[in-house]
Amino acid sequence: MLSGTLPIDLTAFPSPPGPTPWPIVGNLFQMGNQMHLSLTLLRVKHGDVFKLRLGSLPVVVLSGYNTIRQALVRQGEDFAGRPELFTFSAVADGTSMTFSEKFGPAWLLHKKLCKNALRSFSQAAPRGSGATCLLEEHVCAEAAEMLEMIREQSAKAELDSEMTDGASKGVDPVKPLVTSVANVVCALCFGKRYDHNDKEFLTIVNINNEVLKLFAAGNLADFFPVFRYFPSLSLKELVQYIRRMNGFMERRIEEHMHTFDKNCIRDITDALIALCEDREKSKEMSLLSDTQIIHSVIDIFGAGFDTIIAGLQWSLLYLIKFPDVQRRIHQEIDEHIGSARMPNFSDKPKMPFTEAFIYEVFRHAAYVPFTIPHWYDWCTHYSEWLLHSKRHLCFHQPPCSYLWGDPEQFCPDRFLGHSGQLNKELTEKVLIFGMGKRRCLGDGFARLEMFVFLATLLHGLRIENVPGQKLDLGTDFGLTMKPHPYKITVSSRFTEM
């Protein structure tokens, strides 16, 4: 794709094809309200590499696994930047590793610090259980709490139906899923878990959801910079929500600053404060400010949140739509775990079908249709195309028949080899956590967390559809696309737990 150090005659390459933009608005209106589907249709017409103009933003779209891998891995440094979008600056104000426009030594150091803080503290010794590490302790505790919350909701729904002499209307699993996953992140980042009815905790969870909705809706200030001086109602709401979310984070950080003891590191925030105190001993650390280092906890908080929640919501929907799949997971649980104990991290490699199910949910639901936009500064060429300088890059992975054969079919077995073990080469082609320089920090932890949450639910419960409820695998467009609302009925698998 690149010709090494030899000079390249860029005039020999044509620009990528693409739909004709309209004056002023470009191709914005052609995207509709399901942008991922619109891009899939454009890919059929124009190929894996095509260009758009969204308002004033010139965009190059790269589609398909091989195309994305070429850009993010083999040419990773060329395309590792972030665009200077108004929403990015509203979120982070220059302190975020995730949204930082600059790619270079300071960014690489920032990512290294975030990764080390997440890894070292999550792998720290547990504090009061038989778990192998602190992350496992938190995840298993919250998974058990989630299981009990769903049981309690189910018992209440059954009682209500008996009192009204009607059929059970089932339970909505969203709140237990959201609050339990959020509590894992809070415990790791701030050393504190919250009661599931804590007012401040629920407010932050709801604000996070609203921020994601507003991000997904797009912002005129990103497409037309002049609108940042004439903010719309949605832009004002976005800024207010982000300020409230960051205010919550800032208060937790300030509390830690006042009570910090370098001989007693309580959580990831403490670990980052300790790094700041050691800055003077390291010339390399001078590349980052104290604010950048400490605010890394905000990046870590975000990395462990919405992707896992959405994955669990989709998983439960597929389990009630495909009961035979659920039965096979139950069989695997009974064979490798039994009824005497709860699932833990060590069970994951012993349960390939459960893992295959999770990967097939990632693939089939495709609920993270894009990465956060990338950016490149200079003219380069990619495949047979000339890419002009200063363009936004959108990475889009639609279902590919050449990769999956029958992409519309839900089939966990596609991820199992002839021996029944997980096909690692194929699982790497599921890009739910991105790839390359900007790959999600906590992807390995997220997979462990999803496994334990799902295995814990299915260890204790049989999950079924509510009689008469039509199941819909459709979704509304978003940064992380959630399924349409649904309810479940549950019954215990064991008389004593």
- Binding site, residues? 440
Task: Evaluate whether 212 touches 367 at the Cβ level (below 8 Å).
Answer: no
Burial class from Cβ neighbours inside 10 Å (0-12, 13-18, 19+) for residue 440 reads buried
Helix ranges (H only) for 93-229 are 105-122, 134-163, 174-190, 199-216, 220-223
Distance, in Å, from the CA atom of 54 to the CA atom of 45, rounded to the nearest integer, reads 18
Report the DSSP pairing between strands 391-396 and 57-63: parallel
- The Cβ-side half-sphere exposure at 342, using a 13 Å CA radius, reads 23
Closest by alpha carbon to 320, among 171, 179, 420, 456?
171
Spatial separation of the C-alpha atoms in residues 133 and 224, rounded to whole Å: 48
Backbone φ and ψ for 495, nearest 5 degrees, come out as -70, -30
Which SS3 state, helix, strand or coil, does residue 22 take?
Answer: strand
Asked whether the beta carbons of 299 and 97 are under 8 A apart, the reply is yes
Q: What are phi and psi of 347, to 5 degrees?
A: -80, -20
Binding residues for heme: 440
- The secondary structure of 269-314 as a DSSP string is HHHHHHHHHTGGG-TGGGGS-HHHHHTHHHHHHHHTSHHHHHHHHH
Rounded distance, CA 214 to CA 211, Å? Answer: 5
Sign of the torsion angle spanned by Cα atoms 16, 20, 23, 29: negative
Q: Residue 285 is encoded by which pair of tokens?
A: 């650390």
